[in-house]
Structure 1
């Protein structure tokens, strides 16, 4: 009789413990949302040729770790260096032409200025010739009056007439010379303006040659293909001596230092998830390793919208399917340094939504 109450007590305690454990795990499960539709992601960059040339050397092997700036491929640079030298020679020629144009424009401006000064001098000559002509005309008029009253000789009258004719010739010569000088001045001014405009054209040509030299130097720099970041280089599709065209694929490099997890949650769970919530991550490749992270951001659309053939629901046979929404989860780097991680590994994520 004494054993029956004891058994009943033990059974009750076990029942209470089981109920308590059930309630605890039920409450605990409500604090998390999880999915196994997740994987590691990282940057995978296709390295392409920036020039058209022969390959002189390949300095990597498939799946080799590399550091940022390591030389991967060396192209033949003979033709590329020749282009740089040609562009440099054209630039030097354009700069010499610019210097010559400057000097020529300066000379034309000085000639135009000197011609204008000559024109100003001609005005003074005309003024003197005008004064001489006026004096000669008065002397001739006076000589005619005196000749009429027989107060002067015919010889003196002829001399006054000759002086008048010479004064008129000097005046006309001065006026003609001034006109010629002014015409020359205008021509020199026009030439000077044209020379100055030629300077602008030559300056533009110099800038063009500078740009061509920069492009040639930039093309030469692409003959040395380097790693854009730390990672693994793989997918080599080239051989030494091969002729490569601009834009042709050389290899691929994987950044395994900056990884994240892309988790595809059901759209019915999105209202529980917020940026910054902590995440527990388990990888199929490392079942014993527990990683941590936090929700970083939400993709702007469901995964179906990024597919090659997005579904079109405007059809008569529409069937509603729960959509998956990609969420980006950033890894806590101190927890990931002890193991090797690679893009594409399957993951299980559990987000603390409390």
Structure 2
């Protein structure tokens, strides 16, 4: 080694040549193909070139995507989450479900104590039954009174006719007696009839007059009795009015019963639609008030995506536009979606504390508008609240 160094030092005419570099060149073999290290260098070069091409291709693809597509990261899966509340107060006697249960439509969720409501319904049922009995009773009285009144009126009408006939007969007897008495009064002065005969005619006339008066009195009594019998028909009118008053009373009782039946029905909280239970807020034994939230449920088949899109990109999200949805929780899966609605006002307009900027200091901030996108549920994988990303093309 020392001899080789000395030889290189003697052969060097330039004092600035690095001895170590010369030594390395001296140690290299004449042919690179004959050494394993020499053979590895081309492959490393090829690998570096390939990596550079991949990086350049990926960068080009990224640039192409940025120029031809719009990406929205402020988006979530949403659904109509319904808060199930109680319309009536009471003690919770049973909670039939827990959070995460899949529940069909009409299944019982919560039961509230209904003992008092059942008793009130039974009380109104009894009152309605009493109204029905009273209606039957008044109806029977109307039939009986009607028949009795008609019979009495018929009898009194016959009595009036008989009294009228007796009055007519008495009047005829009176007229006959008056005629005989007048004849006797004319013959008596001439002595054609005796004094006794004259007295008889006078007595007969007076008797017939009294009979006429009696017949007139009987006729008046018969007519009065007929009027009384006909007045009994007013009792039928009173009974009919009593029967008619039962209608509104029964209607009022039925309305009260329907209201109590509704109260009784509302003490059993049922599932309004087929879906899942998101959360429960009450336990058995708690006292709930009207309007208190008991559970939260939603229909997993009716999900959507809601996004807040920059105002500079909103033109690419017209209704009917097809977009691509990527869910953070489902890497590698992409879902197609369709824009169904674009908000007519920026989200800042609905802020709790809007900024009217009265001072004049202005910082321009890109606003966002709400966009709703329809998406098809896939086996219940899309759940409300999941973060998603949207990709929409900028071309027509």
1:175 aligned residue (215, 220, 231): 220
Match of 1:143 among 180, 189, 210: 180
**Which of 215, 221, 237 is residue 281 of structure 2 equivalent to?**
237
Name the residue aligned to 2:328: 284
Q: Which residue of 2 aligns with 1:341?
A: 382
Q: In the TM superposition, what is the alpha-carbon distance from 1:308 to its structure 2 partner?
A: 4.5
User: 1:3-42: CA deviations, max 9, x gaps?
Assistant: xxxxxxxxxxx9xx99xx79x948982xx65533322221
Residue 56 and residue 132 in structure 1: after superposition, are their counterparts in 2 closer, same or farther (change >3 A)?
A: same
The question of whether the paired residues in 2 share the 8 Å contact of 1:77 and 1:220 is answered with yes
**Distance in structure 2 (CA, Å) of the matches to 1:96 and 1:140:** 65
Q: 1:250 to 1:183 in 2, by over 3 A?
A: same
Indicate if the aligned counterparts of 1:91 and 1:213 stay in contact, CA closer than 8 A. Answer: no
TM-score normalised by the chain length of structure 1: 0.76
CA drift at 1:259: 0.8
Preserved contact between residue 87 and residue 216 of structure 1 (Cα < 8 Å): no
RMSD: 3.5
Aligned to 2:306: 262
SS at match of 1:238: coil
Q: Identify which of 97, 100, 114 aligns with 1:77.
A: 114
Query: Equivalent residue for 1:38?
Result: 75
Deviation at 1:137, TM superposition (A): 3.3
Task: Trace 1:81-96 onto structure 2 (pairs within 5 A).
Answer: 81-96=118-133
Q: CA deviation at 1:318?
A: 9.6
Residue in structure 2 matched with residue 221 of structure 1 by the alignment: 265
Q: 1:208 to 1:122 in 2, by over 3 A?
A: same
Aligned length: 329
Distance 1:221 1:180, change over 3 A: same
TM-fit CA distance, 1:145: 0.4
**CA shift in 2, pair 1:116/1:316, >3 Å:** farther
Separation in 2, partners of 1:254, 1:351: 28
Question: 1 CA distance for matches of 2:358 and 2:149?
Answer: 84
Per-residue deviation, 1:347: 2.4
1:280 Cα deviation (Å)? 1.6
Specify the alignment match of 1:5 in structure 2: none
Whole-angstrom CA distance in 2 between matches of 1:321 and 1:155: 139
Structure 1, gaps ≥5 residues long: 1-13
Tell me if structure 1 keeps the 8 A contact 2:160–2:222. no
The structure-2 alpha-carbon separation of the partners of 1:159 and 1:77, relative to structure 1 and needing over 3 Å to count, comes to same
- More RCO (CA 8 Å, sep 6+): 1
Q: Check whether the contact 1:140–1:164 (CA below 8 A) recurs between aligned residues.
A: no
